[in-house]
């Protein structure tokens, strides 16, 4: 199952008693659509997810899987003359709340595990700093920072995270787990100021004459803005992420970008993986789980088996 959701109305992904969560909501809808009692021990319809998002964190490329019997799946067809998976897809999107969208549904290849088969995951954190004018329509998905951030300094800090490191200064391990992770890439970039019909140019504004293409479409004197124009975005790709790791890294980078902390300070936090309280996680609303990658079908099972092993850093 490929899901997108607005995390603002959820207490994270993981099911919790008496709290609205993404997992709890989707599983409840599955029980309704497939007509399986919620207390059915033989077919509990439990979701396994690629990345458990925290309270307020969004997703556009979340992946999860569940086991369901063929007979149970067939029951959702009803009067529709379509295959069971197509029927389930239609019914789920009809019943799911407006802040969750089922983007894709398919039978999983043999050996697939949404969590353990994953090769890498991508998160993006979006900030509207003093260098751009924030669009109020994005207020639930973008963090506002009044000052202009030093993107070069933040990029230098982010570069220190690439590779296999213990991120104990920025994360907390699960019980019996570790904060050792391998970051494949981490960078800050400014989204170019763009219009729907071409580039508007930094500082040109949306009341400019626009491009020839815009004029050809009858939009003389007006260029429709692309919503993310001018935003400062942090994109990080890793094999996996520890709890609060991304938001704590972003917060540390912002401290550097505001010149409140130095690059030497950031380097020290990377070299001494101990939580000392100077930077906790930044606000959740700017973070989105963007993408998860998987290997070829014949490598899914072996990947899942290997990733279950506890990771350690190589001896220096």
58 and 7 in contact (C-beta within 8 Å)?
Answer: yes
Of 180, 160, 155, the closest CA to residue 270 belongs to: 160
- For 307-313, the CB contacts below 8 A with 24+ separation are 307/116, 307/117, 307/118, 307/239, 307/240, 308/116, 310/177, 310/178, 311/178, 311/180, 311/181, 312/178, 312/180, 313/164, 313/165, 313/166, 313/180
Active-site residue flag, 54: yes
Strands (E), the chain: 2-5, 48-49, 58-65, 100-104, 120-128, 143-144, 163-166, 180-190, 194-195, 198-199, 232-238, 287-293
Marked catalytic residue, from 54, 113, 150, 166 = 54
Q: Which tokens is 296 given?
A: 């070829």
Q: Compute the residue count for the chain.
A: 316
165 and 180 in contact (C-beta within 8 Å)?
Answer: yes
Distance CA 113, CA 294 (A): 10
Q: Which residues are catalytic?
A: 54
């Amino acid at each position: 199952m490929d899901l997108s959701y607005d995390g603002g109305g959820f207490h994270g992904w993981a099911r919790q008693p008496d709290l609205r969560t993404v997992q709890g909501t989707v599983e409840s809808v599955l029980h309704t659509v497939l007509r399986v009692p919620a207390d059915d021990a033989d077919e509990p319809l439990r979701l396994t997810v690629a990345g458990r998002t925290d309270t307020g964190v969004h997703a556009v490329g979340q992946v999860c899987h569940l086991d369901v019997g063929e007979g149970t799946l067939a029951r959702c067809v009803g009067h529709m003359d379509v295959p069971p998976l197509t029927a389930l897809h239609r019914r789920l999107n009809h019943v799911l709340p407006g802040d969750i969208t089922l983007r894709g549904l398919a039978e999983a290849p043999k050996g697939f595990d949404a969590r353990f088969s994953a090769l890498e995951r991508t998160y993006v954190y979006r900030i509207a700093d003093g260098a751009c004018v924030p669009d109020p329509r994005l207020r639930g998905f973008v963090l506002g920072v009044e000052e202009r951030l030093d993107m070069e300094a933040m990029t230098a800090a982010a570069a220190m995270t690439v590779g296999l490191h213990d991120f104990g200064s920025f994360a907390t391990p699960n019980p019996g787990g570790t904060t050792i992770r391998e970051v494949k890439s981490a960078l800050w970039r400014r989204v170019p100021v763009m219009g729907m019909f071409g580039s508007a140019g930094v500082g040109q504004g949306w009341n400019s004459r626009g491009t020839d293409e815009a004029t050809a479409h009858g939009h003389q004197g007006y260029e429709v803005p692309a919503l993310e124009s001018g935003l400062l975005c942090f994109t990080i790709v890793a094999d996996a992420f520890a709890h609060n790791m991304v938001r704590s890294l972003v917060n540390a980078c912002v401290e550097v970008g505001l010149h409140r902390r130095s690059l030497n300070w950031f380097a020290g936090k990377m070299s001494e993986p101990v939580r000392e309280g100077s930077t906790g996680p930044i606000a959740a609303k700017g973070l989105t789980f963007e993408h998860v990658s998987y290997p070829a079908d014949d490598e899914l099972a072996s990947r899942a088996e290997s990733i279950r092993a506890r990771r350690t850093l190589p001896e220096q």
